[in-house]
Amino acid sequence: MEDEETFEAFDGEGQEVGENETPATVLTDEEKSIAKTLSESGIRFIELSDNFLKFSANPKFQTARRQLPGSRGVFLPRSEVHSLRSQLEEGVQEHSELLGIAIPSLGYLELSAQINGLYATPLSNAISGLSPEGVPDCMHSNGDVTLPRCDLGPRAARSILHIQGGPGAPCLELSSVSPAALLWITPGRPRPNVGSFNTPYSLKLHFPGPMDQQSMEDQARELVSSFFYELDVRNGVRLRTIRWPSNNRNQGLAREDLDSFARYPETRVNAEMSTLFGFAGSVLENPPLSFLSYYQVLEFYFPAAIKRTALRQLSKELSDPRFSRSDREDLLRVLKIGERSLNATESSQLRTLIAECVRSERIEDFFQGGGWGDHFAKTGPIQGAGIVNIKNAQTPLATQVADRIYKIRNRIVHAKDDPRFEDVPALLPQSEEADALGPDIALARLLASEVIVDSQTS
């Protein structure tokens, strides 16, 4: 690659830097070699930074976050270069779905492991008090094979949980990421100061022998799910895997017409609803949960919308000069208004809310100016959600929108084995459909904000 040519080979490849010595300011031949190999995967060498080689993040992260090239970097300690070269020589492949890498020739799979919770303890601390059940007696514990781990600080070296696999089953290890995983599955950071950030951790699966990537992924899927479940229930350590960043995940949320001026608040909003509205934006990594948070805002205003509709209908009936208190039919009409308001289904309440409280022109603008392609069409990525067609003259647009929002809500909250929804599977996190929810989240956000605006005048 072109950047490498500006550095001369360092005489004495692999030479260590003493405590009071200045780090080498040129690339070694080994470092040049790995820089060239990584460039073929879109991971570019940027510069030397103290005892680190700075590389660009995996292009998948840059595309998803729309970062400027070089604004962040992945800092590889120069001491890990030899270990990285060994991994590269065996052939590193990206996991097909999850944030992870595979080395089929070694029967090796490595997945990013992240701890649940916004303010959770670092993963290294979470597993520091855990020990394997039974003393491991495998090729790793015997010293025959050492799984690669980056030395990124004392926490990384201290916290390792290695669990031996049974006959034909892979060993499992939670430890700091390997050099290859550091470059492939971490999004980068502005500076290399390792003391100020949590060490990235991974779950490593080492099978007894070489295995094709698809077979490893298939076997790992259930094993990892079971392992994380037991860590949660038995040990109180709540972990998750992560899907590769998706451009669909936040689609639509950046298209709002936002103001550049902040003002003293003029909108009066219920504190709980403000919390839900804000929470929806804080969980965009879990699109179904984000969608449900906006839906809960809508739910909060169901009773007010139903009551307002019933009162308006009652007012019309009672204001009708032909209304008679002694006429049985007139009284029954009044009674039915009350019954409908009390016995309304959730889907009909949502229809009423949107028809009553959301300005029709705002919905029309959303679909006309959104550039959503076929997302809301029959061929869209969300199964069983219904279509929205602004040219449909038979069904009001507000009704189409309400029905779609409600169907998506059902797919998220109802279990797969519920017979009422057996024709459409549950919409789960960590799925392609979840990543494609962006436009529907944007729609739910618009509806929630519109209902809050309407509440100011009620």
The model carries a pTM of 0.72
pLDDT digits over 92-106, tens only?
A: 999 999 999 999 999
Closest to 347 measured CA to CA, from 310, 380, 384, 306: 306
Output the average pLDDT for the chain: 82
For residue 405, report the phi and psi dihedrals to the nearest 5 degrees.
Answer: -60, -45
The yes-or-no verdict on residue 70 having pLDDT over 70 is no
- What's the rounded Cα separation, in Å, for the pair 195 and 187? 17
The yes-or-no verdict on residue 389 having pLDDT over 50 is yes
- What's the rounded Cα separation, in Å, for the pair 74 and 76? 6
The yes-or-no verdict on residue 235 having pLDDT over 80 is yes
- What's the rounded Cα separation, in Å, for the pair 330 and 339? 15
- What's the rounded Cα separation, in Å, for the pair 138 and 279? 45
- At 123, list the tokens: 């993963």
- At 407, list the tokens: 């169907």
Q: Which amino acid is at 207?
A: F
Q: Residue 192 — pLDDT band, cuts 50, 70, 90?
A: low
Neighbours of 121 (CB within 10 A): 13
pLDDT digits over 133-187, tens only?
A: 877 788 887 777 889 998 876 544 568 899 998 888 999 999 999 999 999 999 8
Under 8 Å between Cβ of 173 and 140: yes
Under 8 Å between Cβ of 123 and 158: no
Question: Which SS3 state, helix, strand or coil, does residue 95 take?
Answer: coil
